[in-house]
């Protein structure tokens, strides 16, 4: 998985670039880090959330307020940059198992054409977690979408905004049944697979708001900072309840 910025300096973009290296200056990187509402997490881990739910999950689903869920945004960087940092190549990290969807996500809006678009189109404003489903008609892998944006001076983006779901459940002797992964500068924890357990049972009961492979967990029990470090803690915890905030495109 990579996170890189679509700017007017191609050498700053490419596999292996760190989040700070993808910006034109350290000040830009600090500004972006300060403005991102989601944590930048590091490393790769296949893990289980143990000791999980016994009671049925209580679910609250809501659309992000006052914004369209699908729209097209047109960005022109002829006199500057796109001002987008993108999280792409999920498949390389999380695998290509059944149901996994490789998505190119907005990691941050740093200025440039994206910021100008947001000012002029508040109902179609690009924001962290938005999925770029296609760029100038290019679909497929997240890397292909990213490359189409990187090489263009003007781009039409087909954007899909996720649902924000909060799953609150009683915690007991069963595992949640979630396999998770994370990477440097990704948007939350990546759901690799949903196995037998309370989350899968909840999905069956709530098919229109299910959690599935490729979705992102932003928050565990109210905490975003250092979210990856909470996986072992959650596995060992004897807490009665667990709450997950999830971005879902199901």
Residues 145-184 as b or e (16 or more Cβ within 10 Å = b): bbbbbbebeebebbbbbbbbbbbbbbbeeebbbbbbbbbe
Contacts of 70 (CB under 8 A, 6+ apart): 158, 159, 160, 161
Cβ atoms within 10 Å of 79's Cβ, excluding its own:
9
Contacts of 29 (CB under 8 A, 6+ apart): 19, 20, 22, 23
* The CA-based dihedral angle spanning residues 72, 67, 29, 103, taken in that order and rounded to the nearest 10 degrees: -60
- pTM across the whole model: 0.70
**pLDDT score of 35:** 41
The Cα-based distances of 137 to 65, 83, 119, 131, 158 in angstroms read 28, 20, 24, 14, 8
Burial class (CB in 10 A: 0-12, 13-18, 19+), 222: exposed
Q: Report the DSSP pairing between strands 2-6 and 84-88.
A: antiparallel
User: Which domains does the chain possess?
Assistant: 2-35+66-160 (2.30.42.10), 47-63+163-248 (2.30.42.10)
Kindly list the distances between the CA atom of residue 231 and the CA atoms of 37, 125, 139, 178, 223, in Å, as whole numbers in the listed order.
20, 33, 33, 11, 12
Mean pLDDT by 10 residues, the chain (250 residues): 49 27 30 40 35 32 57 93 86 59 90 96 95 96 93 97 82 75 80 83 80 88 76 62 82
**How much is the pLDDT for 40?**
37
Q: Name the residue among 165, 189, 169, 166 with its Cα closest to residue 179.
A: 189
pLDDT at res. 63: 40
């Amino acid at each position: 998985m990579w996170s890189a910025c679509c700017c007017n300096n191609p050498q700053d973009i490419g596999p292996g670039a760190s989040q700070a290296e993808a910006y034109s200056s350290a000040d830009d990187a600090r500004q972006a880090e300060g403005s991102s509402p989601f944590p930048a997490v590091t490393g790769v881990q296949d893990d289980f959330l143990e000791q999980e739910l016994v009671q049925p999950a209580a679910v609250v689903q809501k659309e992000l307020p006052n914004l369209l869920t699908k729209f097209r945004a047109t960005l022109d960087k002829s006199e500057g940059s796109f001002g987008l940092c993108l999280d792409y190549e999920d498949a390389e990290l999380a695998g290509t198992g059944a149901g996994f969807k490789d998505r190119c996500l907005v990691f941050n809006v740093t200025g440039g054409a994206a910021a100008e678009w947001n000012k002029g189109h508040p109902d179609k404003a690009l924001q962290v977690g938005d999925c770029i489903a296609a760029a100038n008609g290019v679909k497929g892998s997240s890397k292909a979408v990213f490359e189409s944006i990187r090489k263009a001076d003007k781009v039409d983006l087909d954007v899909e905004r996720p649902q924000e779901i909060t799953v609150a459940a009683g915690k007991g002797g069963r595992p949640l049944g979630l396999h998770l992964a994370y990477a440097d500068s990704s948007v939350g924890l990546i759901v690799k697979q949903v196995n037998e357990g309370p989350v899968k049972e909840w999905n069956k009961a709530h098919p229109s708001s299910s959690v599935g492979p490729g979705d992102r967990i932003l928050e565990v029990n109210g905490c975003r900072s250092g979210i990856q470090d909470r996986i072992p803690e959650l596995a060992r915890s004897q807490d009665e309840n667990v709450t997950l905030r999830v971005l879902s495109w199901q």
